[in-house]
Structure 1
Amino acid sequence: MHFPYGLSDFGTLRQEGYWYLDRTDRLAALENAGRQLIFLRPRRFGKSLLLSMLEHYYDLNRADQFEALFGPLAVGQHPTRRHNQYFVLKWDFSLVAAYGEIGDIEAALHQHINDRIYQCIDDYQSHWKRAISLHPHNALSSLESLLGAVRRTPHKLYLLIDEYDNFANEVLMAAHPGGQDHSQCHGLKPPGSKPGGIQA
């Protein structure tokens, strides 16, 4: 058995026999904690792995993998009713450049969100009953279009946001070319959103 140092993909960890400390018995408590969750722990404390576990647990496309991934675990023995019931959309802000002019950072963030929305559209393409529009320079409009399509299905959207804290810190700590204040970067927060897991 291997120790999964630096490995944050739950599927790889489970399928390749890495050691995993089973805390899936907490999933029922997380579901009862509310619709918007935020996890505040230091770096290297397993937040990314936790989000990956949530992604595999709630993703409706992974229903046929449930027994292989979760069967021997606590939640596999006592699953909640919500397992594999959601469209999953994941944003990873570690992939977004947090330096340069404010316009460059905004463009990079909009691009990442649009890329992830495009992947979500492709992953669940058989479920959509209406066209979903991607707006290259306005990812929030793209998100609204996706949510409109989600509302026409029997499922909901589970939004996972990773590395938001480090991204925000890098933006605020970066040099300010031209005297611009990066803390004044507006218009990038989805309506009603908070970091962590969000059911919409």
Structure 2
Amino acid sequence: MVKIPYGKGDFKRLRTDGQLYFDRTELLHELEAVGEQILFLRPRRFGKTLWLTLLESYYDIGAADQFETLFGDLAIGQNPTPNRNRYFMLKWNFSVIDPHGSHNDIAQRVHDHINDSINDFTIRYQKLLTLPIAIQSGNALSSLSRLLAAIRPLNTPLYLLIDEYDNFANEVLTRRDKGRESYHELVESEGVIKTVFKAVKAATDGLGLERVFITGVSPVVMSDITSGYNVAKNISQRPRFARLCGFTGEEVMQLNQQIALECELPEGAAEEAMSLMQNFYNGYRFSGADTTRLYNPTLCLYFWDEWQQLCRYPNELLDDNLAMDKNRLRYIASLPMGLR
């Protein structure tokens, strides 16, 4: 029986538990060639976090002994890039930042989150580090500078992963109470988002930060910080990377056939399920030059998990985890001519 990883976004766990994974690792060669600072945008719950955990497992210098277990039977395992297990890995997840309160409140939470990630870094790589990294409370950018200073003598560069870079900023923007005003405080010259990304940009200029991969749902925040971080290459609509996240129609049909077989359903059951998923989930197209339609993995996994366990379709075809919150609906309804 195929193991459906509904609600799970950790590549290492998927692989070690033998859960469903559709291989995308052949794209790592092209990702390395396309640029060192990459922005990749997709809707909510579209597999972005899973992809970042894959990058983390593949490039982590401390995970070299796990390479065969995690990647051995995948495309990249048969033909790895020279950068395999070459980096110190640092990861920020901005979806955990509480968007409520004043700009100073939010800024402090951002600094706390970055400091926490640097503290985790020191624990994770304590056997490789030769210099201490002093955490500067209230000034995570100073902590980042100290981290870079500590790793430079080791000749092992840093790879920074930023998940949901625009999450808390979007939440602030859609707040009913002074949302736009608070948002502009975040992205203006002294705003915390702009200052953080200015520091990231500076760190790539020979200071030890070699690669950055950023995920989010919209280019708006990146555009609004203007020169703060104008070096990222947005690959979101490039045809070659259209299927980086999400399931193709062929993959959806493959799982439908497998579950229909497991449940001993009559002939045509897989096709019927495919028709239902097409009607309700349709298929996204992220590039005008590529006709490939992609299905939201969270919706598909939700559907398969219910269908496999009960051998019937779920009563509710929309996963509540993807429901849009009321504040966002109100915000959209209040902008008949768009945000200006």
| Distance in 1 of aligned mates of 2:73 and 2:3 | 18
- Matching residue's letter, 2:214: G
Q: Is 1:191–2:209 an aligned residue pair?
A: no
Residue in structure 2 matched with residue 58 of structure 1 by the alignment? 59
> SS at the partner of 1:100?
coil
- Matching residue's letter, 2:62: N
| Cα separation, partners in 2 of 1:181 and 1:166, compared to 1, 3 Å | closer
Instruction: Report matched runs for 1:2-13 at 5 Å.
Output: 2-13=3-14
Q: How far apart are residue 188 of structure 1 and its match?
A: 2.9
Contact map agreement 2:164 2:214 (CA 8 A) in 1 = no
- Matching residue's letter, 1:182: Y
Q: Is 1:90–2:91 an aligned residue pair?
A: yes
Q: How far apart are residue 176 of structure 1 and its match?
A: 4.5
| Distance in 2 of aligned mates of 1:36 and 1:51 | 14
Contact map agreement 2:169 2:183 (CA 8 A) in 1 = no
Contact map agreement 2:59 2:87 (CA 8 A) in 1 = yes
The structure with higher relative contact order (CA 8 Å, sep 6+) is 1
Question: TM-score, normalised on structure 1?
Answer: 0.92
More deviation, 125-134/113-122: 125-134
Residue in structure 2 matched with residue 168 of structure 1 by the alignment? 169
Unaligned runs of 5+ in 2: 205-211, 216-230, 232-340
| Distance in 2 of aligned mates of 1:188 and 1:174 | 22
Residue in structure 1 matched with residue 121 of structure 2 by the alignment? 120
Q: Deviations over 1:3-45 (max 9, x none)?
A: 2222110011001111100010000000001110111111122
Contact map agreement 1:90 1:161 (CA 8 A) in 2 = yes
Instruction: Report matched runs for 1:71-150 at 5 Å.
Output: 71-150=72-151
> SS at the partner of 1:143?
helix
Q: How far apart are residue 195 of structure 1 and its match?
A: 5.6
Instruction: Report matched runs for 1:29-48 at 5 Å.
Output: 29-48=30-49
Q: Which structure: larger Rg?
A: 2
Unaligned runs of 5+ in 1: none
More deviation, 6-15/125-134: 125-134
| Distance in 2 of aligned mates of 1:84 and 1:107 | 33
- Matching residue's letter, 2:134: S
Root-mean-square deviation (CA), in Å?
Answer: 2.1
| Cα separation, partners in 2 of 1:167 and 1:181, compared to 1, 3 Å | closer
Equivalent residue pairs, number: 198
Q: Identical aligned pairs, as a percentage?
A: 47
- Matching residue's letter, 1:188: V
> SS at the partner of 1:126?
coil
